[in-house]
Chains A and B, each alone.
Chain A
Amino acid sequence: MASENPLLQFTVKKLVDLHIGGLDVSFTNASLFMVIAAVLITLFMVAAMRPKAIVPGRFQGAAELFYEFIDNMLLENIGVEGRRYFPFVFSIFMFVFFCNILGLVPVGPAESGFTVTSQIIVTFALALLVFVVVTVIGFMRNGLHFLRMFVPSGVPWPILPILVPIEVMSYFIRPVTLSVRLFANMVAGHVMLALFGGFVVGLSAFYVVPAVFPFAAIIAVLALELLIAALQAYVFAMLTCIYLNDAVHMAH
């Protein structure tokens, strides 16, 4: 149970054992929740846009809210040509957002929802995808001139041998910080929730009334976690837009 060790809630359990060749491609609870997230996103967008009204009702308005949110983000950060990257940024934002939120629902196949983005390999896969896509787009749009990004303009040449390695390192650390930011936020929030849950169970073994205090803390932390779930999805998408802007419009 998660009350003994708050880290037990992150174990990946195999639901269906599959082996292809020598590779272990079992269907785990992480895979299940990724499928649930993808199905929910698709159902939500398809069902909400079914009326196709010019003046949207409430449900269609909700889907249009997500759409315009990402559209405005792309317009602000990249400009009009940012619209062509809309499917990429929208998919990443919706997937991260729904996976974060699914981890907070208290009912599910196991004791509760499983947070897919609390697995470092999932967030690293997403961050690596963003990094590779941005680099490829940068080379496609600018050719070898893209390497100018590591040499800022207006810098006196004696400093360059020190500055260029620093710029290169800060470029290559982008997938690391992107992935660890999302992973650490999710793990920290859920560890706190499991810890306070353990406190409630432990306290109520002695006296039931003082167990209200950790319970109130759980409610507060849950509200904070809802905010963090939405915020981390937004920050992930916004940093993707900023990196795309760097690649598409060479700032240096």
Chain B
Amino acid sequence: MDAAAASLIGAGIAAVALGGAGIGLGIFFGHYMDAAMRNPEAQNKVKINPWVAFALIEALGLMGFVLSFILIGSK
């Protein structure tokens, strides 16, 4: 298998990281919803935490996405 084909296959495998980001976001927001519905008044104290967690979890998935683009571009 020549290098160009191998790097494209690698690019496809690297994009699987986005699925991990999706699962992580689902777990986080699921737990957040559980806790928020149990105790709605506590949401005011942690107003910014869900957004921060979203950014940090999404970042790891997007790193795999960027790796995929690097592999598509390389020969």
Residue numbers of A with Cβ under 8 A of B are 7, 177, 180-181, 183-185, 187-188, 191, 228, 231-232, 234-235, 238
Contacts and interface: CB of A to CB of B under 8 A. Distances in A.
A112 B69 CA distance: 22
A188 to B, nearest CB: 5
A188 B52 contact: no
Interface stretch (B6-14, B25-33, B55-63): B55-63
Contacts of B69: 7, 187, 191
A183 B66 contact: yes
A196 B51 CA distance: 25
A232 B55 contact: yes
7 contacts: A7-B73, A181-B56, A184-B62, A184-B66, A185-B62, A187-B69, A191-B69
Given A181-B59, A181-B62, A184-B66, 14 more contacts: A7-B73, A180-B63, A181-B55, A181-B56, A184-B59, A185-B55, A187-B66, A188-B62, A188-B65, A231-B51, A232-B55, A234-B51, A234-B55, A235-B55
Contacts of B62: 181, 184-185, 188
B30 to A, nearest CB: 20
Interface residues of B, number: 14
Interface of B: 48, 51-52, 54-56, 58-59, 62-63, 65-66, 69, 73
A7 B69 CA distance: 9
Nearest to A186: B62
A177 B66 CA distance: 13
A228 to B, nearest CB: 8
B11 to A, nearest CB: 13
A177 B59 contact: yes
Nearest to B52: A235
Nearest first, the 5 A-B pairs at minimum CB distance are A184-B62, A181-B59, A235-B55, A184-B66, A231-B55
A232 B55 CA distance: 7
Nearest to A177: B59
Nearest to B54: A231
A153 B59 CA distance: 30
B66 A180 contact: yes
B66 A235 contact: no
A174 to B, nearest CB: 13
B52 A185 contact: no
B58 to A, nearest CB: 7
Contacts of A228: 55
B28 to A, nearest CB: 15
A185 B21 CA distance: 13
Nearest to B58: A185
A188 B52 CA distance: 18
B63 A184 contact: yes
Contacts of A177: 59
